[in-house]
Chains A and B, each alone.
Chain A
Amino acid sequence: MYGKGLRALSLATFAALTATFALVFFYAPLDADQGFIQKIFYVHVPVAIVTLCAYVVGAVFAALHLRTRDRRWDLRSYVVIHIALIFNILGLLTGAIWAKASWGHWWVWDEPTLVSFLIVFLLFATYQPLRFSIEDPERQARYASVFAIMAGAFVPLNFIAVRTATAYVHPRVLASAEGGLPGSMAFVFVVAIVAMTLLFALLVSYEIAAKQTKWQLRALRRRLLGSDAVAPLGRSAAPSLGEPSRGGSATRAPRNPAEAAS
């Protein structure tokens, strides 16, 4: 019962993504300047926005972990950052394709928005190796949370710094001096952001449900067959929910689905 609400969320995500793709290709008007290439905008920008927001959410979860010492907040922070990294790669790839189509280059180093997005990616790409380098689960969770908070705080600062940079050529989307997007484009853009947010929430929910089910299976195996039947945990970047092994202090695994879901 870990995946409570997953079916509804999956259906909502599917509907939102289908609506987004239909609106992008058959409703949104062609951009006067870029033409058909501008359709990439409806994937690239929402993915980038969701990515940056997700890093901040991961930092908030990490702060909650440090505040409450509840390992489940660490799991949430880890999974949110993990999925945000996948979205970040998606943003970089779609951005590179858009750059090639409009500027003739896959990457432009003197463009602050692109480079800052890459820096954020590289910063968070060190999160997993950092976790992996610490064997004790308690210390791993604590250090990773501190890192997530620091890196998460860097995201809005980085965003503001790029916004205030003067020499940029990256198109501004919302509230620009020219008045921003026209109504129909803005509508499709908002639908795309909703769809990407739902997709992100869905992937996070799947990942958390999978991890909790895995731990529950381990706990069940231990209760049924004894500790000898459970393979010892190797070093891992993923948080452990209630394992007395790996050298650290044990945290109790959720005893029932309701407790785990809470």
Chain B
Amino acid sequence: MIPALLAVAPALPLDEAGKYVAGAFVVFVAVIVIYVAIMATKLQRMSRELHELNAAVEARERGERARAEAAKR
């Protein structure tokens, strides 16, 4: 679909100005991508912490089950 769209799109006059325009748009996209990468790192950290909490809850539940079974016996 993209090649078809590019085929019908008018040619861009990418002379001397092209590199500056490209630079401005690349800076814009780069800053957003860097921000998303930082957010991804934070998300990873939170995911790891959540994993630890899940493991702690599971360990606690296992302990409670074991105590309940021991009490039954």
CA of A206 to CA of B36 in the docked complex: distance in angstroms?
10
A30 within 8 A of B: yes
Q: Which of A87-104 touch B at CB < 8 Å?
A: 89-90, 93-94, 97-98, 100-101
Residue of B whose beta carbon sits closest to that of A211:
B42
A181 within 8 A of B: no
Q: Which residues of A contact B27 (CB under 8 A)?
A: 90, 93-94, 97
Q: B-facing mask of A12-34, CB < 8 A → 1, else 0?
A: 00000000010001100010000
B: residues with CB less than 8 A from A are 9-10, 12-15, 17-18, 20-21, 23-25, 27-28, 31-32, 35, 39, 42-43, 46, 49-50, 53, 56-57, 60
Give the interface SS of chain B, mostly helix, strand, loop or mixed: helix
A225 in contact with B56 (CB, 8 Å): yes
Q: Which residues of A contact B57 (CB under 8 A)?
A: 224
Q: Which residues of B contact A217 (CB under 8 A)?
A: 46, 49-50, 53
CA of A90 to CA of B15 in the docked complex: distance in angstroms?
24
B39 in contact with A221 (CB, 8 Å): no
A221 in contact with B17 (CB, 8 Å): no
16 A-B residue pairs with Cβ-Cβ distance under 8 Å, sorted by A, are A37-B17, A37-B21, A40-B20, A43-B24, A90-B27, A93-B24, A97-B27, A98-B24, A101-B21, A199-B32, A210-B39, A217-B46, A217-B49, A221-B49, A224-B56, A224-B57
A72 within 8 A of B: no
Q: Which residues of A contact B23 (CB under 8 A)?
A: 97
A220 within 8 A of B: yes
A39 within 8 A of B: yes
B39 in contact with A43 (CB, 8 Å): no
A171 within 8 A of B: no
Q: Which residues of B contact A39 (CB under 8 A)?
A: 21, 24
